[in-house]
Structure 1
Amino acid sequence: MISNNYLFSRQAVVDSKMTAKANNLFHLNNMEQEKKDSFLSLLFTDLSIVDAIKHQPIFIAVSIHEVEHLPTPPSSMRFVLFFDAAELRPERDNDRLSELRLDGYQLGLTNFSLKFFGTPFFDYFSFVELSLNKFDMSQVLNVDRHQGLAHKEVWVSHIQSQEQHQEIDAKTHASWFSGDFLSASVPVKGNNVPGYRLILIDLLKRLQDGRSSIRDISATIEKDVTLAYRVLKLTKSVMYHRQFNVHNVQRAIEIIGIKDLIKWVTLAMFSSIDGKPDCLFSMAVNRAAFCNGIAKAMYPKLEGAFLVGLFSYLPSFFDASMDEILHDLPLDESLVSALKYHQGHLGSVLSVAKHYEAGHWEKIPFDELAEQDLSSNQLRQIYIDSLKAAKEIYQI
């Protein structure tokens, strides 16, 4: 019997230009053996998962014991299975790895060591992961000195800064990269970021004072031509707004409504800022949709969850600390407490979303969620649904 008790999340893997080119899949790795087998099998049979992660290669860390009954993957999905080199035994695992390759899987090594160099067993593996949690920068930068790696696809994970990414890209043949550097705050090309911050501050002030007309608010947005265009495009493209004739920002505000205006303007801003990884916008929208879904399940009357998820990425887009940004923004105290300290219901929602995204399952208070009638299975489904909802927005 296939178990549905599993969790998974995905992380972007990018190339040298920080364009997303693969998904690194986290999954709950302390389950019973039957559930581990079931999770890997369900990757091919659960259409909701397939829809959420298809179209790009999928990296997934597995144990040799988890792939004993793994089916042949669909032709539309490309899987790279990463095995811990310390756990492999050539005499024991040779036949199984050979079968996986024949079935269409690509294989990779984590926790890399030199013990397999020059052996036929090493030829099974086309990928090598070098994690900066396990190797220091000098070791990673010397990877090209090992001739045995010259023809391997090298993936460097757990990169913390864009400076690290740039140095590794310049000095090695590594071509796959992942880590927190994707959302790190760094100076960007162009001068549109300070302007967007000022527009957001002005807009929030106008909305709070209650005396500004829709014409005044639309004039604030129209200070930036690109932003105005993005707001119009988003409004016309979202499914439940398509029946309206949207010809200017004022009309867009009338359709969106003042209540949701900040949400859509922030989306438009994030999609307009240049010099950022192309996956950063989708990461922000995914989190916003996930927070919104969690809040609906736990606190049906709670407002602001989408905005909290979206605003949690403000430092990544505006290249300033959260404290500095929030000091200037006239936000409701519940939003500020959630963003700065993860306090209150909104803070709890944001905390769960961030831990889930990172695969930090042990930090999620499942007992407390159960008291709110939210099971781990429901949380997984909310995550899948949020990926689909976010895709409708960031593909516009």
Structure 2
Amino acid sequence: MEVYVARQPIMDRDEKCVAYELLYRNRHIDVYHHENGDKATADVLVNSFINMGIDTVTNGKPCFINFTEEMLHFDFASIFSPDKMFIEILEEITPSQKLIDTVIKLRKQGYRVALDDFVLDVQNPLSVELLKNANIVKVDFHDTTKKQRQLIERLANAFNTLLLAEKIETREQYLEAKKAGYHYYQGYFFSKPVLIKSNDIPVNFYSYIQVIQQLSTKEPDISKIAKYIEQDLSLSHKLLKLINSPAFKTTKTIKSIQQGIVLIGLNELQKWISILAVREQWGGSNYLSEELLRMCLTRGKLCESIGKKLLGNEGSSSCFLLGMFSLMDTVLQTPMKKILEDLPLDEEIKDALNGKDNLLHHILQAVKSCESGEWDYVESFISTYTVSSQFVFTSFKEACVWTESVLKHELVNRTKSSQSSYVN
């Protein structure tokens, strides 16, 4: 599944790029089609920070991201490091005391707040107060009059709020803004938005619901949460990418999904799962093909069974990840080595997935051989590691039965979700 983000540079007075605004796109045509605002914000956050990697998208520079009122008040911004982003408040949000209190709270936490397409309402004291508490005010040079701009400029200077001139389309507009004392500039005169493309794994929306329900209980069961995430290739992949993102940059590697959950913490996991759920709720019906999902689940379960036999309970979790991720290059249409660069997996798991000779690789090869009917390799594996052929074949059968039960459960809930969407 292809995913997109557009970025447009923000320039300083020396015409050097100092940041990028990240814009929602849902197709390869670089045009914004009106979408649910919460979904658009969630999509940009997920695609930029997880699927693509924010430093890759912005070349290490800060980004401006539009936040809807609901996304602001739910404190989703607190997931991100303040030095990575400017929180951009959309012009359609009506100034209120609640909004101003949220801005003040964000500023105290170190976040920088920008007002998008700001038009001052002098009759509303809250409009003035909002301008006073923002770091940057973006003034639209296409849709405002010179008189409107001058009023905003005077107040911004009085409040030490920085000015950003947007929709600058000619040198004349740029020079006018520069003369008026604007600090930053954005528009077609410098660059149109540039489309960036990546690949994502289609999701099972019901997995999000299961995780959210468990997180909402008085005493969340981490092992249950891990189970729900493990069985969803998309969620597993996103969790690992999240751990490796600037928000949770760590040098630690993990051997299991449960270990990753502990590393992130339940509070932060709940915020991220909520963002993902908002995104997918409005995201249509993109699903991983049933056969690919069947192969991933069966490999994961069979690797887990063999791993438990040879390595004990601790090793079985690593083996489940090994099997689930063994088709990631097929799913994402990207070389396995490239995919693993962005995942904080234990080196032994990475080596096995990259084809290096270790025990986990031998387990994976035995599982693939069961899958394809290459019994000579299976017999060789059985002989080398002194496990019985009955154990291997029984485990294979059990893995297939377990996979079908998971798929049946998913299909039922996918159908319920589709019917609910139709009714709504």
Q: Which has the larger radius of gyration?
A: 2
Report the TM-score, using the length of structure 2 for normalisation: 0.38
Report the TM-score, using the length of structure 1 for normalisation: 0.40
